[in-house]
């Protein structure tokens, strides 16, 4: 990637990590970055080997896992933190990502 494109992608990653993009769609994210959505997605994939929304899902799950471990929040609250409306869907995604159910993380306090 060209240095200007890489800097934009790093800025995007910081936006995603902050949680500020959690409620944005791809068009909104592209607007925030001042770039075409398709180009932004291509550059992100080249830099980080995953899609923007795969990365965003991973970060949300990691924030939920941290809340489970650090704060002892309920699994239902962790699902909300991760942006899931269904606790069952959250548990499935969590288990796929971490290899353990969310309840296991909560019990490791």
Q: What is the DSSP letter of 69?
A: I
- How would you write the pLDDT of the chain (109 residues) with one tens digit per residue? 899 999 999 999 999 999 898 889 999 999 999 999 999 999 999 999 999 999 999 999 999 999 999 999 999 999 999 999 999 999 999 999 999 999 888 766 5
pTM for the complete prediction? Answer: 0.84
**57 is written with which tokens?**
């899902």
For residue 103, the tally of other CB atoms under 10 A from its CB is 14
């Amino acid at each position: 990637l060209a240095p200007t494109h890489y800097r934009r992608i790093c800025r995007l990653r910081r936006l995603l990590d902050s949680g500020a993009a959690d409620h944005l769609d791809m068009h909104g994210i592209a607007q925030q970055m001042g770039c075409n959505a398709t180009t932004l997605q291509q550059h992100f994939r080249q830099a980080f080997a995953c899609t923007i929304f795969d990365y965003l899902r991973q970060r949300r799950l990691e924030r939920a896992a941290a809340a489970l471990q650090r704060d002892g929040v309920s699994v239902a609250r962790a699902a909300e933190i991760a942006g899931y409306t269904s606790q069952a869907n959250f548990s499935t995604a969590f288990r796929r990502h971490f290899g353990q159910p969310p309840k296991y993380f909560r019990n490791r306090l």
